[in-house]
Structure 1
């Protein structure tokens, strides 16, 4: 199951009918694999011609016309996840990010949570050592988010315009969100995905981990179904 196919399948399952994919590296292969329609999902594309010199915030900025069209789910393309992760984004909060407890096997971007379940800060390049200093409030960002149309129009897109307009094309989306949370008062709720299977796949080792994680789950379901019969 390709990573993008898993994302499209899960989006379709929760009722999403239209998706825009920002492509750059191997764009032709991605467009061939996903097409203009995947199941019941219409797939559109926006191309980044300088993908090798820019960060995720630039890719998001390229899709700003889509962001201005209304409520949106934002997914980074390297995450393999269970469908229930998206369902946890569809709660009462209008602006929400999926997070999971940060454990010693993880590294990368993370978030600090308040007692009432809101993100108070983002932290980049975290490792197991940061668990000691941050404690149980440190959570791994899953790079699955939902924003209301009003927040996208009034806050997210203008901030993207400012960042890219200043020449900071290598900025990460988490850096932008951290600035908005800490300096601009963005209220971003955390959708805790404790216990769900997911994996951010950056390396061959990550891929093998994801394969083991999801193949075990598939085998367990098959065993359960056989007992049920």
Structure 2
């Protein structure tokens, strides 16, 4: 199994940082030392901590910044990086971005979005949840109060995920998908096909819409509740401020 980070996004709401950097390289270090840590650093450190030292990173927008730091990141975190180019990062959404990594996920992958600040306990939760025939396991926050923007999930105790979308009444959701997924090798081909169907239907769809395509086909997707954990998806400067507070704790 490898680590996998989606780091192709532009993150335009985080300008001026993202005028020259992809969102995953926006600094989240402590005040006065913001450059010491990025979202990508957190993901790589977490992967290394659970023994995943082979990591693929899907790059696109401002990818040269990741290429320039590749050797430094490898040395800092003790990992080997494979960079996967997304040639449509500024045009299409992330269903295509994950599909670009279709060959590497054949090894099995622990996927982390490149804009999620979270503790290594999430990776440990997903890895500990393996072993009962699950093929895909989503990290689910069942504690947080949900709003309109969150990627919400409805689950069934026996059938797993039934619905995953931002477009649902928050009161009907079982929890929020936080942007981390464990993908077993056996799921790789079916997932790649579902992602292709998804972005061919609409290039602006999310990879979570690919998960919904799988569910609609009868594929079981499981969840692993992460407990009462502090984390944040960084979309704007308010999220960034929260991310810096959280990153200092782990």
- Shared fold (TM-score, shorter chain, > 0.5): yes
Measure, in 2, the Cα distance between the counterparts of 1:34 and 1:43.
7
SS class of match (1:21) = strand
Per-residue CA deviation, residues 109-146 of structure 1 (Å, 9 max, x unaligned), is: 111122358221112245xxx333x1xx4311111001
**Who wins on radius of gyration, i.e. which is larger?**
1
The answer to whether the 8 A contact 1:98-1:145 is kept is yes
Deviations 1:190-215 (A, max 9, x none): 11012112110010100111222344
Structure 1's consecutive aligned runs of 4 or more residues displaced over 6 angstroms after TM superposition are none
For residues 214 and 7 of structure 1, the distance between their equivalents in structure 2, rounded to whole angstroms, comes to 11
- Give the Cα separation in 1 of the matches to 2:84 and 2:196: 17
Shift of 1:86: 0.4
> Following TM superposition, by how much is the alpha carbon of 1:178 offset from its aligned partner in structure 2, in angstroms?
1.0
2:112 corresponds to which of 75, 79, 82: 75
TM-score of the pair, normalised by structure 1: 0.82
SS in 2 for 1:88: helix
Aligned-pair CA distance for 1:162: 3.1
Question: Which residue of the other structure, out of 149, 156, 181, is the alignment partner of 2:185?
Answer: 149
Farther-moved stretch of structure 1 (113-122 vs 44-53) = 113-122
Distance 1:2 1:12, change over 3 A: same
Aligned CA distance change for structure 1 residues 210 and 117 (closer, same or farther; 3 Å): farther
Gaps of 5+ in 2: 1-36
The 8 Å contact of residues 139 and 226 in structure 2, kept in 1 or not, is answered as: yes
Structure 1 unaligned spans of 5+: 219-229
Q: How does 1:209-228 map to 2 (within 5 A)?
A: 209-215=242-248, 217=249
Residue 98 (structure 1) aligned to one of 113, 116, 139: 139
Q: Which moved more, 1:17-26 or 1:110-119?
A: 110-119
Name whichever structure is richer in helix by fraction.
1
CA RMSD of aligned residues (A): 2.1
1:117-128 to 2 correspondence within 5 Å?
A: 118-125=160-167
Picking from 134, 141, 155, the partner of 1:113 is 155
Matched residues in 2 for 1:180 and 1:28: separation?
A: 34
TM-score, structure 2 normalization: 0.76
Please name the residue that 1:225 is paired with: none
> 1:195/1:77 Cα in 2 relative to 1: closer, same or farther (>3 Å)?
same
> 1:52 aligned to 90, 102, 111, which one?
90
Q: Distance in 2 between matches of 1:6 and 1:76?
A: 11
